């Protein structure tokens, strides 16, 4: 039997006024994996992470962390997620 993914995002969408920050994001992450979310400024990286940490509600789609749907159980999801911003540029850049 296949192991349940630690993170599932299906069709995530989020708008801020007229700005479409996320549109149909799908993601599956296996337990124990380390994930980097890369992209240009304004691509929706922070918005996606905030949804996964239950700091924002998606306008569409669903997100689950450790088997828990985010918006319904924020305390449980936050305990299961560790997210940290990148600080500064890598050495030599």
Domain map (residue ranges) of the chain: 7-80
The model's pLDDT over 11-41, given as tens digits with 9 standing for 90+, comes to: 999 999 999 999 999 999 999 898 888 999 9
| Averaged pLDDT for residues 62-84 | 67
Mean of per-residue pLDDT scores for the chain: 82
CA distance 19 to 83: 24
Annotation: CATH topology of 7-80: Rossmann fold (3.40.50)
pLDDT above 90 (res 86): no
| Averaged pLDDT for residues 1-16 | 89
User: Which CA distances in Å does 60 have to 17, 23, 51, 88?
Assistant: 15, 9, 11, 33
């Amino acid at each position: 039997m296949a192991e349940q993914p630690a993170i599932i995002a299906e069709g995530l969408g989020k708008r801020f006024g007229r700005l479409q920050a996320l549109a149909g994001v799908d993601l599956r992450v296996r337990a124990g994996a380390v994930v980097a979310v890369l992209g240009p400024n304004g691509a929706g990286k922070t918005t996606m992470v905030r949804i996964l940490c239950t700091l924002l509600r998606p306008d569409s789609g669903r997100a689950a962390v450790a088997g828990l749907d985010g918006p319904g159980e924020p305390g449980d999801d936050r305990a299961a997620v560790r997210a940290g911003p990148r600080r500064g540029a890598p050495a030599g850049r």
